[in-house]
Structure 1
């Protein structure tokens, strides 16, 4: 069974953001965008 981390973090109620090495935002879940 494979765990789909994208789905887990995307649907999480807590805000999550992913930054690249240059500190540019490359991904954020809906909870982060609502802040």
Structure 2
């Protein structure tokens, strides 16, 4: 499953753990890295 950059932005904005910012969410960054390596 891959997500577009827009979808990722929407996901981050909706994820309270990320504070509305992907770069502020280490767990999300780790997940994204694993997704991209698939």
Question: Is the TM-score greater than 0.5?
Answer: no
Query: Where is the strand percentage greater, Structure 1 or Structure 2?
Result: 1
Compute the TM-score of the two structures, normalised by the length of structure 1: 0.28
Point out which structure has higher relative CO (alpha carbons under 8 A, 6+ apart): 1
**Higher-Rg member (1/2):** 1
